[in-house]
Amino acid sequence: MEIESDLSFTVEDDQRRTADEQGRPLPGFFDSLLDKERWAPAAAAALSVRTVVEPWLDGRGYRQELAGVTPAGAWEEFGTSRLSGTRTTRLRLHWALSAAAHPLSERVRRRRADFNRMAIDSPA
């Protein structure tokens, strides 16, 4: 794990993932490159504004950008020296998480209060 800033980090693993007959990764959550074996990164992606996923299979890499858990575009293929694994980079977490990270920010406190008020006022 590499922490790049308060709300941006990268996680890598060397776990081999499932591939189709041509050796390409099988689609995962919402047709993204995050497969069911990577449910924790998928949950973190749901809380992120932008996530980049890069799985590697036998010297071929695949890259996809996500907005939340929704793919922002098609997969891109690239060459790599890595045989297997996945890199998941969160480039920006959702503002609700930043409220916990920066509790003294007036703007964040106001957003949290608005969010809590909406949750209380919503019919169950």
All structural domains of the chain with their residue ranges: 2-93, 95-124
Which tokens in the block code for residue 51?
């996530």
pTM higher than 0.85 for the full model?
Answer: no
At 48 the pLDDT is 83
At 42 the pLDDT is 87
Mean pLDDT by 10 residues, the chain (124 residues): 69 88 91 88 84 92 91 92 88 55 54 63 55
* Cα–Cα distance list, 79 to 54, 59, 62, 73, 87 (Å): 12, 6, 9, 19, 15
- CATH class of the domain at 2-93: alpha beta
At 55 the pLDDT is 94
Query: Among 9, 49, 45, 50, which Cα is nearest to 29's?
Result: 45
At 9 the pLDDT is 79
At 56 the pLDDT is 94
